Amino acid sequence: DAAINRIAAGEVVERPASAVKELIENALDAGARRIDVTVADGGRRMIRVADDGSGIAAEDLPLALSRHATSKIDGSDLLNIHTFGFRGEALASLAAVGRLSVTSRPEGCDAARIEAQGGAPGPVRPVAGRPGTVVELRDLFYATPARLKFLRTERGEMQAVTDVVRRLAMAEPYARFSLSDATDAPREVFAVAAETGDPRDALTARLAAILGPDFAANAIAVDAEREGLHLTGLAALPTWSRGSAVHQYLFVNGRPVRDKLLTGALRAGYMDVLSRDRHPAAVLFVDCEPAMVDVNVHPAKSEVRFRDPATARGLVVSGLRRALAGAGH
Ligand code: ADP
Ligand code: MG
């Protein structure tokens, strides 16, 4: 059973960045407004995510680590998911692939900690701790050296972790994020303050903080709607295009996705204003009722399946064309 757990866990946790993604999503599901990520050795040696969210009651800690235990849905409504998590797999998977410790303190309670190794959780112990949750994963893949071999260099893994934090920070401008590298002397790699104001102002400020003021100054607002699908975001003017697709950030219902359909639609939206060797830069959010899109494709992949793909594509293409035309392009 431990072996089966490890195999299943490998599907969810391919590398440090996938662990970081799961942990930040849990923090956001818990309503966190402050999320601090620390990694050592590109995440192999240590990954820590601290949040100020609602926390986990001491008596629920063992459950939080067990497979298929989620507090987020009751299983009857897989078509109506409003949280990032719903499978109850992430913490169980992390416990199977590394040494996991979860310390949590819900409002008005004392802090408690549970530790697990090789998938087996130990007892819950009282500790001192701040409100919120700290999840720490040490020695990722220590029991599965074959998986360790598939990891990139420390720098490569750190880049993937940074990319995950940046993408999630784009989707949650009202939360504060930081990323620190504790490999040697602790060093802050990335930090953004919580934004305020209406959603568009907050997003613009957040994107200026992450992509630079230059992006925000050269981008136009996109805002379109079609048959229950809403498109918002910022699209760079053709003059701010790039030689590669690095600055394409796509989100569906707040989740970062890498989706062929949306990427293709983004290209098509700029087709008339960009030469073939240039790539548009844009941060686009598609939002809809959860039932209109299937996010249940694969736990570790960021693919989605729209119930009506043609409408999704049409929305993005026409929304971009209209915004570009409005700006004189
Ligand atoms: P899922 O997110 O799919 O529910 P996880 O394995 O990621 O599954 O988490 C299991 C459960 O542990 C969650 O349903 C939630 O109740 C609790 N949990 C995990 N992380 C946090 C956190 N940072 N803050 C509060 N609760 C958490
Ligand atoms: Mg989760």
Cβ contact 6:98 at 8 Å: no
Q: Is the ipTM of this complex over 0.90?
A: yes
- Rounded CA-CA distance 201/207 in Å is 10
What is the arithmetic mean of pLDDT over 132-157? Answer: 92
Lowest mean pLDDT among 67-76, 99-108, 161-170, 292-301: 67-76
Q: What structural domains and CATH numbers belong to the chain?
A: 2-192 (3.30.565.10), 211-326 (3.30.230.10)
Lowest mean pLDDT among 77-81, 126-130, 153-157, 295-299: 77-81
CA dihedral over 209, 211, 212, 216, signed as positive or negative? negative
The tokens of 193 are what?
């303050």
Asked if residue 158 has pLDDT above 80, the reply is yes
- DSSP annotation string for 284-314: EEEE--GGGEE--S-SS----EESSHHHHHH
For residue 28, give the ligand nearest its CA.
1
Q: What are phi and psi of 119, to 5 degrees?
A: 85, -10
Give pLDDT tens digits for 14-29.
899 999 999 999 999 9
- Rounded CA-CA distance 329/321 in Å is 8
2-16, 71-85, 112-126, 157-171: which has the highest mean pLDDT?
157-171
Residues with CB under 6 A from ligand 1: 22, 26-27, 29-30, 51, 53-56, 64, 70-72, 85-92, 133
pLDDT attached to residue 145: 85
What is the arithmetic mean of pLDDT over 156-161? Answer: 96
Cα 69 to averaged position of ligand 1 atoms, centre (Å): 9
pLDDT attached to residue 298: 64
User: Is 0.90 topped by the overall pTM?
Assistant: yes
- The pick from 91, 94, 100 for probing ligand 1's pocket by mutation, whose C-beta has the most ligand atoms within 8 angstroms, reads 91
Average pLDDT, rounded, for the chain: 91
Give pLDDT tens digits for 164-174.
999 999 999 99
The tokens of 213 are what?
């003021």
pLDDT attached to residue 147: 86
Biggest CA–CA distance in the chain, Å, is 64
What residue has token string 């004392």? Answer: 110
Long-range contacts from 288-292, C-beta under 8 angstroms, 24+ separation: 288/228, 288/229, 288/230, 288/252, 288/253, 289/80, 289/228, 290/79, 290/80, 290/81, 290/82, 290/253, 291/79, 291/80, 292/228, 292/229
Cα 151 to averaged position of ligand 1 atoms, centre (Å): 26
The band of 2, judged by pLDDT with boundaries at 50, 70 and 90, is: low
